[in-house]
Amino acid sequence: MYRPQGVLSSMVTSFDAKGHLDETGIRRNVDFQAKAGIKSIVMLGGTGWTREACDDLRTFAEANRLPVACAFRCQDLFDNRHPNYVGDVGIGVNPKLAARLKAADLVLAIGPRLGEMTTSAYTLLEAPHPKQSLVHVHAGIEELGRVYQADLMIASGMPEIAAALRAVKVDSSAWADTPAQARAEYEAWQDEPAIYQRGCTPALNLWQVVQTLKRLLPADAILTNGAGNFATWANRFWPYAGLRTLLSTTSGSMGYGVPAAVSAAIVQPQRTVVCFAGDGDFLMNGQELATAAQHGAAPVVIVFDNGMYGTIRMHQEREYPSRVLGTELANPDFAKYGEAFGGFGARVERTAEFEPAMRAALEHARTNRRPAVVHLKVDPQAITPNATLDAIRASTAKR
């Protein structure tokens, strides 16, 4: 096909076509659905959110006393410290939150794709017709009805639907205590996880690492992560404060965290930016520290080094116990790697060593405008917050 060369560099005008919403109809329909849902829950997710849209949705949830969950790695859509926030629906979902979704009269899914991650492999909602009443809002009309035939399907951008919902208010006296009950279950889920309560006592406690970060980082810190089991420690235990405090991937893209952190540190130089990266994950794009150094960006990268591709190893142990292949890693000294870019590097092997190392990393990054790397030597047994590798292997052997 012939195309004139000038077309490639010509300026064009584009138009952002937004779907039209009948706000009166939306309010009437959602109002009708909500009145029928004594056990209602909101699930937020997807893209296209703005701060105003998040504020409008918060107003809607507060006015109607609704518990709010967020889809996989979308926790920044609703302040995790808010009394109506009840957890995230993704990998390792709180069993009590999963039970609430299964038992709900009404699920308001605003923005997320209702795929494998947000439905726990299609077990929280029955396909194609859930037992729960379902309102599904998504910006792409092709997603509506793809898996689930919702009672009400709305094609809308998030700012438009959130603005319409802001004015919806129903008599919520019948479920007034529900948010507090669900919130209590969420807070209990934030306690020290099962593996440490069952005798796993590594020198470096990853739950304590996150508790230390809660003391050291400002509430508006931006956290990024790529893909891997290491990310569950931040995604489950860190309280994301609002929109764009989480930069992550829902598609399992390894290596996303470092370039995301570098970008955030360039665009928001006044903000604290921390990247969670696994060892295999970091080695995908760790060279982007050169970009950070070149532009005076100062992200702090925490590398979880357990010497393997942990997620793949976990699946191998579950399906083929003791028959693992190609998941072990021979890693460099990540602290020295950070120093090689003119940045800061520290190696941490014990829990007590983490706080001083992290304080030094934050101070060096802030003062010198250079990246920092904190290299955590992680016990391979701490593969998830809920199970060790030995426990996974043993449970498979009993099948």
Q: What is the DSSP string of 140-202?
A: -GGGTTSS---SEEEE--HHHHHHHHTT-----GGGTTHHHHHHHHHHHHTSSPHHHHTT---
| Nearest of 47, 49, 16, 33 to residue 162 by alpha carbon | 49
Distance, in Å, from the CA atom of 244 to the CA atom of 172, rounded to the nearest integer, reads 31
Which domains does the chain possess?
23-187 (3.40.50.1220), 190-397 (3.40.50.970)
For 48-106, write each residue's pLDDT tens digit: 999 999 999 999 999 999 999 999 999 999 999 999 999 999 999 999 999 999 999 99
Phi, psi of 282 (to 5 degrees): -65, -40
Residue type, 297: A
Q: Which two tokens stand for residue 71?
A: 């889809």
| Nearest of 138, 137, 179, 166 to residue 40 by alpha carbon | 179
Distance, in Å, from the CA atom of 204 to the CA atom of 202, rounded to the nearest integer, reads 5
Using the structure block, give the residue that is written with the tokens 């859509």. Answer: 77
Residue 13: what pLDDT? 81
For 197-255, write each residue's pLDDT tens digit: 777 788 999 999 999 999 999 999 999 999 999 999 999 999 999 999 999 998 889 99
pTM (2 d.p.): 0.93
68-71 and 85-89 as β-strands: parallel, antiparallel, unpaired?
parallel
